[in-house]
Structure 1
């Protein structure tokens, strides 16, 4: 599901402060990066058996290269996903998420966005 209206979507920021601040907020730079894209994941545990939730924030380079550390990244709308063991993460709108989880996810993204604001272009 999309976490809309968090203020992080369409934010433009240099990759170096982005990587630092996302790490500071427990977002892990996934192995899904390449020269033009980044993916940050935040793991949320669950009491449900074999279920883990993830917040995913993706971005792409408007200029520069991610691997060289000189990219300017435009962030996309964050996603909330549910991991089903052993099948993978589902981000579809047909997934059901507890209301308190959605609120928590929004707060996590907004807190990160507030700190990123100082570095946006």
Structure 2
């Protein structure tokens, strides 16, 4: 599910401060990158059997190299996904997400967005 109207697409910034701010909000990049893209995930546990939710913020390098930490990253519209063990994460609009989970995801993304804007405006 796309988390619309959070304006994350307006953010373009260097990868080093981006990694730092995302880490402060418990969004983990780990090994989820290649030379041109990054993916930050926030894991949300569930009481449903074999189900875990993820808030995902992706970005693409508009210049530089992610591997060398010289990239400038343009962020993309955040996603809310549901991981079905052992099959993987589904982000489709046909997925059913509890309303309180959607609100939590939007609040998490809004907090990240505010910190990213504050850094950019310094």
SS in 2 for 1:42: strand
* In 1: Cα distance, 2:30 partner to 2:58 partner: 10
Are residue 14 (structure 1) and residue 14 (structure 2) matched? Answer: yes
* In 2: Cα distance, 1:88 partner to 1:10 partner: 29
2:55 maps to which residue?
55
Consecutive unaligned residues of structure 2, counting only runs of 5 or more, are none
What CA RMSD, in Å, does the superposition of the two structures yield over aligned residues? 1.2
TM-score normalised over the length of structure 2: 0.94
Deviation at 1:116, TM superposition (A): 0.6
Give the 5 Å matches for 1:1-121: 1-120=1-120
Question: Which stretches of structure 1, 4 residues or longer, exceed 2 Å deviation after superposition?
Answer: 118-121
Deviation at 1:31, TM superposition (A): 1.9
* In 1: Cα distance, 2:65 partner to 2:103 partner: 34
Count of residue correspondences? 121
Consecutive unaligned residues of structure 1, counting only runs of 5 or more, are none
TM-score normalised over the length of structure 1: 0.95
